A and B are shown apart, each in its own frame.
Chain A
Amino acid sequence: MNLIINLLCAFAGTLGFSILFNVHKKFHLYCGLAGMSGWLGYLLFIERTSPAVATFFGALVVVLMSRAFSVWKRCPITVFLISGIFPLIPGSSIYYTAYYLVTNSLEMAAVKGVESIKIAFAIVAGIVFVVSVPRKWFNLKYWRRGAKDLK
Chain B
Amino acid sequence: MSIDETEISNKREVIQFALDAGTIQLSNGAEIWRVEDTISHICRAYKVEDVDAFILSNAIFITGSNEKESIFAKVKHIPMAGVHLGIITDVNDLSREIASGMWTVEEAKVKLEEIRNQPPNNLIYRGVSAGFASGCFGYILGSSVTEAIVTMVIAFVVFLLSVYFEKKQLSKMVKNILGGAFIALMALAATYIPLIGTISVNQIIIGGIMPLIPGVAFVNSIRDLANSDFLSGTVRMLDTIMVFMYIAIGASTVLSLYHAVLGGAL
Contact = CB atoms under 8 A, between A and B. Distances in A.
Interface of A: 5-6, 9-10, 12-24, 27, 39, 74-76, 78-79, 81-83, 85-87, 89, 91-92, 94-99, 101-103, 123-124, 127-128, 131-132
A102 B252 contact: yes
A81 B29 CA distance: 13
Nearest to B259: A103
Contact of A91 (B29, B213, B220): B213
Nearest to A31: B85
A76 B206 contact: no
B133 A98 contact: no
B71 interface: no
Given A95-B209, A123-B222, A127-B222, A82 B85 contact: yes
Contacts of B255: 99, 102-103
A5 B135 CA distance: 13
A131 B226 contact: yes
Chain B interface, >50% SS class:
helix
B121 A91 contact: no
Given A99-B251, A124-B222, A21 B137 contact: no
**Residue among A17, A86, A96, A128 facing the most chain B CB atoms (10 A cut-off):** A17
Interface residues of B, number: 57
A12 B133 contact: yes
Contact of A19 (B31, B121, B223): B121
**Residue among B126, B133, B213, B248 facing the most chain A CB atoms (10 A cut-off):** B133
A20 B252 contact: no
Given A17-B130, A19-B125, A124-B222, A78 B209 contact: no
B178 interface: no
Given A6-B140, A15-B133, A123-B222, A102 B256 contact: yes
B219 interface: yes
Nearest to A93: B206
Contact of B252 (A76, A95, A132): A95
A103 to B, nearest CB: 5
Pick the 9 closest A-B CB pairs, nearest first. Answer: A16-B133, A98-B248, A13-B136, A19-B129, A16-B129, A9-B136, A102-B252, A99-B252, A13-B133
